[in-house]
A and B are shown apart, each in its own frame.
Chain A
Amino acid sequence: MLCERCNKKNVCMLRPSNKMKLCKECFIESFEDDVHITILKKNMFNKNDNICIGVSGGKDSSVLTHILVNIKKKYNYQWNLFLLAIDEGIKGYRDDSLKIVYKIQKIYNLPLQVLKFKNIFSYTMDDVVKYIGKKNNCTVCGVFRRQALEKGALLFNATKLVTGHNADDLAETILMNMCRGDIHKLSKNVNDVDSFFICSPYTNVSLFNVLGINANQIIQKNKNNLDQHDNITDNIHTQSEIKFDCENVSLCDGHKSRYKKGLTWGNFENGTNTADTCTNTGIGTNTGIGTNTGIGTNTGIGTNTGIGTNTGIGTDTCNVDNTVNQKNVNTANFVKCNGNTNCCNNKEDTTSKENILFIPRLKPLMWSYEKEIVLYAFYLQLDYFSTECTYSPNSFRGTLRSFIKDIENINSQFILNIIHSAEFFYFNPKNKKSLQICIKCGAYTSNQICKACIIVEGLQNYTDNSFLYANKKSKKNKKKIPIEYEKGKA
């Protein structure tokens, strides 16, 4: 029997989505075309986008990387692609899949970055499970991972963040949110990206500037193979490879080498390096004299601060170009702390970055069935890691996943039906939430303090599980752990 599409080669498979009988090449082509249509229909990418691909080593992200590279080549787009992987610290699962990630990076020759939970939140998932057991850990992992992805994307100066979620994942999420009554995540009219506005007084600050890193320079360095900054140490090797080991330590301590081994988030000493008047630190609580700080609670004398709760004497802010030493990678320019916005005077800052506090998360595979992804990977013999997370069998989502599989066995059309249904949900628009910036760490949140910070706080003061529900209204009196985040207090 001949393939229905090209009428030349022999049929070798039946495509699950439209039941067409196709040969291998036609399937590959039509699958890639479908993804391309998705990208076009949703206006996902613009010219010159910096696209950060979240890879995990699994089949979705492997296929996603392959397709994006192919599409870029085929249609000659001017995108810049980067790979970002997150290490949650799950033994036997994540460390194995990371090997695949390194392989992918070598094959496609794309810059890669691996961030660890341990460095960002100071807990690995194994620790978390030890504390809170196996029931609600998926929540924590999900929240942490998403934040880690966003922080990583900022590092790359990315404009878009893409993940490999497929149609089955989407359907699962919709059903799950329906069963949980989570209308905020369900309805499109409430979650309209365009209508988000940042209601923080620091709107004009580029977050990545505040982080004190300008990824542009890193990329630039790579391209020219220059070693302008000896504070990016020997971990940066060849032209094609950027790799941060992401182990400890501080950013920018004076004029010493800025990255000892990598970068860290949130763990650093207070009042570091008073050797110089310009200690640049990252996110978190900073104190000290003459400290230039990033986001978070800052106190001190003569502090120039960024976003967050700031107190101190003589705090004078704005437009500090802290490039004290030529050797320092460009550091942050900060904003006045009492509500007047100021510009970033960062010379390397490209002007278009001024308001990109929000990196959209896109899913090019969102209308592709999981079965077809597997078929695609099979035919192209793509390498991927396919073991389940060790903690997943007990999860709510696991129940739903097996249910979705059952549905698909009846008719795979139902998956798209669910997605179609969700496009038309309409809830009361009065419940709209607006996006704010967490005053502890600077991430996006719809409350004052982001879920990740709440979780970290909860884990530190762990007495019971209530911090997982801290944001939800509960009728019964759950014991709440007081988290102090009032402005003005350190």
Chain B
Amino acid sequence: MCQVGEDYGEPAPGEPSPAPRPSREQKCVKCKEAQPVVVIRAGDAFCRDCFKAFYVHKFRAMLGKNRLIFPGEKGLSQDSAKRLRFVPGVIFVDEGAAFGKSLEERSKTLAEVKPILQATGLPWHVVALEEVFSLPPSVLRCSAQEPAGSEGAYKAAVDSFLQQQHVLGAGGGPGPTQGKEQPPQPRPDPQSLAGPPAAAQTGALSQLFCSVRTLTAKEELLQTLRTHLILHMARAHGYSKVMTGDSCTRLAIKLMTNLALGRGAFLAWDTGFSDERHGDVVVVRPMRDHTLKEVAFYNRLFSVPSVFTPAVDTKAPEKASIHRLMEAFILRLQTQFPSTVSTVYRTSEKLVKAPRDGPAAGDSSPCCLLCMCALDVDAADSATAFGAQTSSRLSQMQSSTPLTETQTPSGPCCSSGVGRVLGCGQGACRREDPQACIEEQLCYSCRVNMKDLPSLDPLPPYILAEAQLRTQRAWVLQEIRDCLIEDSDDEAGQS
């Protein structure tokens, strides 16, 4: 009856709308008139219209409750309550190169995707993952948030790669109190029609992904690069928000997966409603209240077109990566204990973003190079300081020093991550071991992922460039520290 879908983007398999199990006499629980067509939770049968209303209501409620995307100011026009007053665009990221699909396959997929994008009537963009190689290092910098109102109408770019969703009620024009108006024009982005991306970039991308040893690290890397790319596109086209179609089930799985990857400190950002660690662009997850089942049924009942594209872990066995394993586990648990997903979801709601020490806007507290969260490797008594984080290369380099009661095993300056955040400004390591210097700038989970890359060279140049820049800056800061008058008390590179 209800399939918890395990394939990306596929609608519910073809079967007639399921009749409610208990009795044929049962009516929709909401309007109590029509025949129900779908059962959401145990015992809640809805008819088609009520289901749509329920679904839409949840979506709006999520947006409204969090007050991040709001319509024009006071003085709403008459029927403004019915419409979402923002203008979204749609973006599709073509990741075929990452898992070795040929150009024909990719253009075939694109040909399927484009009509869907055009049919939404919104401005759309198609971008290939290879473009990460032409990204500027500024992508990794956390720019300050723009003061509200300086921009024109609020726009949002919708990431519909995973689940193409019918965008509900494309809003009308911007409110009367807004500044400049930017009416939407459903024009194709000229970039996407420029032909297939350069072969060199495609080659570089596939080389990068081939060099990654484990599937887990591949998926993580893919997500990171995709995020950066979308961020860049959003900034380039003036979008201030990015919406993703993560459903409740997916977020619960993501939460547990991130737990297993060591991202416990950042769960609030990774799975919460809004994620503002990038500064000016905010990632929003309006569908986090909808279970995958509801999404699948919505797609089915209202004929929302979707395209299935294989992902990096399609057809991989269950034990291949932590993502697969966790997904299978949660879904299996859900069958035994039907409240698992909602429990995990409620727990994620209770997660509060830990207050940052020091002034806000993250200028002084160091951020991870890749995921832009505050670094979490300083705690002296955490398991990471135990030595689990030292890469096997470095641990072999060091000679085993005899332990005394007061000393922890020492090593070269870079490898002891305890409390030395950007401390590798020592000249020696800067030149001899750039790899370790990059690792120093990563949070714990990014470090663990990077361990699966035998060499950091195939990474896109913007990452390496930014890492270099930060190292230099830290080194310079160290040199001139004596002359600076500090008015804040957290300084990078404190020993």
Q: Which of A5, A75, A411, A424 contacts B354 (CB 8 A)?
A: A424
Assembled-state Cα–Cα distance A422/B260 (Å): 10
Tell which of A34-42, A62-70, A85-93, A477-485 binds the partner: A34-42
> With A33-B403, A407-B322, A420-B384 given, is the CB distance from A179 to B343 under 8 Å?
yes
Determine the interface band of chain B, counting residues with CB < 8 A from chain A.
35 or more
Please, which residue of chain A has its CB at the minimum distance from the CB of B404? A75
Q: Which of A34, A36, A179 contacts B344 (CB 8 A)?
A: A179
> Could you list 20 examples of A-B contacts with CB < 8 Å?
A5-B400, A19-B392, A175-B256, A175-B259, A178-B344, A181-B344, A367-B388, A396-B337, A399-B333, A407-B325, A411-B322, A413-B448, A414-B261, A414-B322, A417-B262, A417-B445, A418-B259, A420-B382, A421-B262, A421-B264
Q: Which residues of B contact A238 (CB under 8 A)?
A: none
> With A36-B403, A403-B329 given, is the CB distance from A428 to B262 under 8 Å?
no
A406 CB within 8 Å of chain B: yes
A115 CB within 8 Å of chain B: no
Assembled-state Cα–Cα distance A420/B346 (Å): 22
Q: Which of B256, B346, B387 contacts A181 (CB 8 A)?
A: B346
B312 CB within 8 Å of chain A: no
A197 CB within 8 Å of chain B: no
Q: Is there an interface contact between A413 and B354, defined as CB atoms closer than 8 Å?
A: no
Q: Is there an interface contact between A424 and B347, defined as CB atoms closer than 8 Å?
A: no
Q: Which residues of A contact B395 (CB under 8 A)?
A: 18, 20
Q: Is there an interface contact between A425 and B351, defined as CB atoms closer than 8 Å?
A: yes
Please, which residue of chain A has its CB at the minimum distance from the CB of B258? A421
Most chain B CB within 10 A, of A33, A37, A183, A424, is at A424
Please, which residue of chain B has its CB at the minimum distance from the CB of A430? B352
Q: Which residues of A contact B405 (CB under 8 A)?
A: 40, 75
Most chain B CB within 10 A, of A178, A399, A409, is at A178
A356 CB within 8 Å of chain B: no
A427 CB within 8 Å of chain B: yes
Q: Which of B258-290 contact A (CB under 8 A)?
A: 258-265, 267-268
Q: Which residues of B contact A490 (CB under 8 A)?
A: none
B216 CB within 8 Å of chain A: yes
Q: Is there an interface contact between A183 and B260, defined as CB atoms closer than 8 Å?
A: no
Interface string of B341-353 (1 = CB under 8 A from A): 0011011001111
Q: Which residues of B contact A407 (CB under 8 A)?
A: 260, 322, 325
| B interface secondary structure, majority | helix
> With A18-B392, A178-B259 given, is the CB distance from A423 to B386 under 8 Å?
no
B217 to chain A, nearest CB (A): 10
Q: Which 7 A-B pairs have the closest CB atoms?
A: A421-B264, A424-B265, A417-B262, A426-B354, A181-B343, A419-B383, A416-B388
Query: A40-B405, A421-B265 are known contacts; what are 12 more A-B pairs with Cβ within 8 Å?
Result: A4-B396, A40-B408, A410-B321, A411-B214, A414-B260, A417-B259, A419-B383, A421-B260, A421-B263, A424-B265, A424-B354, A426-B351
| A interface secondary structure, majority | helix
Assembled-state Cα–Cα distance A481/B336 (Å): 28
A17 CB within 8 Å of chain B: yes
Q: Is there an interface contact between A423 and B216, defined as CB atoms closer than 8 Å?
A: no
Assembled-state Cα–Cα distance A20/B264 (Å): 28
Assembled-state Cα–Cα distance A181/B325 (Å): 20
Assembled-state Cα–Cα distance A407/B400 (Å): 30
Q: Which of B351-380 contact A (CB under 8 A)?
A: 351-354, 376, 379-380
Q: Which residues of B contact A403 (CB under 8 A)?
A: 325, 329
Please, which residue of chain A has its CB at the minimum distance from the CB of B329? A403
Q: Is there an interface contact between B259 and A367, defined as CB atoms closer than 8 Å?
A: no
Assembled-state Cα–Cα distance A416/B340 (Å): 24
Assembled-state Cα–Cα distance A418/B396 (Å): 25
Q: Which residues of B contact A174 (CB under 8 A)?
A: 259
> With A424-B265, A424-B376 given, is the CB distance from A181 to B386 under 8 Å?
no
Q: Which residues of A contact B114 (CB under 8 A)?
A: none
Assembled-state Cα–Cα distance A407/B344 (Å): 19
A421 to chain B, nearest CB (A): 2
A131 to chain B, nearest CB (A): 23
Assembled-state Cα–Cα distance A18/B351 (Å): 32
A130 CB within 8 Å of chain B: no
Interface string of A176-189 (1 = CB under 8 A from B): 00111101000000
Assembled-state Cα–Cα distance A181/B214 (Å): 31
B385 CB within 8 Å of chain A: yes
Please, which residue of chain A has its CB at the minimum distance from the CB of B395? A18
A79 to chain B, nearest CB (A): 14
Assembled-state Cα–Cα distance A407/B326 (Å): 9
Interface string of A20-43 (1 = CB under 8 A from B): 100000000000011011101110
Assembled-state Cα–Cα distance A213/B35 (Å): 72
Q: Which residues of A contact B57 (CB under 8 A)?
A: none
Please, which residue of chain B has its CB at the minimum distance from the CB of A427? B350
A37 to chain B, nearest CB (A): 6
Assembled-state Cα–Cα distance A411/B323 (Å): 13
Q: Which residues of A contact B256 (CB under 8 A)?
A: 175, 178
Q: Which residues of A contact B381 (CB under 8 A)?
A: 41-42
B403 to chain A, nearest CB (A): 5
Assembled-state Cα–Cα distance A173/B329 (Å): 16
Please, which residue of chain B has its CB at the minimum distance from the CB of A424? B265
Q: Which of B157-175 contact A (CB under 8 A)?
A: none
B77 to chain A, nearest CB (A): 38
B319 CB within 8 Å of chain A: yes
B239 CB within 8 Å of chain A: no
Interface string of A52-75 (1 = CB under 8 A from B): 000000000000000000000001
A44 to chain B, nearest CB (A): 11
Q: Which residues of B contact A413 (CB under 8 A)?
A: 388, 448
Q: Which residues of A contact B343 (CB under 8 A)?
A: 179-181
Q: Which residues of B contact A183 (CB under 8 A)?
A: 347, 350
Please, which residue of chain B has its CB at the minimum distance from the CB of A40? B405
Q: Which of A406, A416, A421 contacts B259 (CB 8 A)?
A: A421
Q: Is there an interface contact between A179 and B333, defined as CB atoms closer than 8 Å?
A: yes
Q: Which residues of A contact B258 (CB under 8 A)?
A: 421
Please, which residue of chain A has its CB at the minimum distance from the CB of B340? A179
B444 CB within 8 Å of chain A: yes
Q: Which residues of A contact B351 (CB under 8 A)?
A: 425-427
A442 to chain B, nearest CB (A): 32
Q: Is there an interface contact between A423 and B392, defined as CB atoms closer than 8 Å?
A: no
Assembled-state Cα–Cα distance A417/B380 (Å): 16
Q: Which of B79-95 contact A (CB under 8 A)?
A: none
Assembled-state Cα–Cα distance A289/B201 (Å): 92
Q: Is there an interface contact between A420 and B444, defined as CB atoms closer than 8 Å?
A: yes
Q: Is there an interface contact between B346 and A422, defined as CB atoms closer than 8 Å?
A: no
A461 to chain B, nearest CB (A): 28
Q: Is there an interface contact between A427 and B352, defined as CB atoms closer than 8 Å?
A: yes
B167 to chain A, nearest CB (A): 32
Q: Is there an interface contact between B319 and A410, defined as CB atoms closer than 8 Å?
A: yes
Q: Is there an interface contact between B388 and A426, defined as CB atoms closer than 8 Å?
A: no
B449 to chain A, nearest CB (A): 11
Assembled-state Cα–Cα distance A97/B340 (Å): 35
Please, which residue of chain B has its CB at the minimum distance from the CB of A413? B448
A41 to chain B, nearest CB (A): 5
Q: Which residues of A contact B347 (CB under 8 A)?
A: 178, 181, 183
Q: Is there an interface contact between A416 and B260, defined as CB atoms closer than 8 Å?
A: no
Q: Which residues of A contact B386 (CB under 8 A)?
A: 34, 37-38, 41, 367, 416
Q: Which of A17, A180, A417, A424 contacts B260 (CB 8 A)?
A: A417
Assembled-state Cα–Cα distance A37/B321 (Å): 31
Assembled-state Cα–Cα distance A178/B383 (Å): 19
Assembled-state Cα–Cα distance A21/B493 (Å): 34
A283 to chain B, nearest CB (A): 36
> With A367-B386, A407-B325, A425-B351 given, is the CB distance from A41 to B261 under 8 Å?
no
Assembled-state Cα–Cα distance A18/B256 (Å): 24
Q: Which of A161-198 contact B (CB under 8 A)?
A: 174-175, 178-181, 183
Most chain B CB within 10 A, of A38, A181, A407, is at A181
Q: Which residues of A contact B384 (CB under 8 A)?
A: 416, 420
Q: Is there an interface contact between A406 and B319, defined as CB atoms closer than 8 Å?
A: yes
A218 to chain B, nearest CB (A): 32
Q: Which residues of A contact B255 (CB under 8 A)?
A: 178
Assembled-state Cα–Cα distance A226/B137 (Å): 79
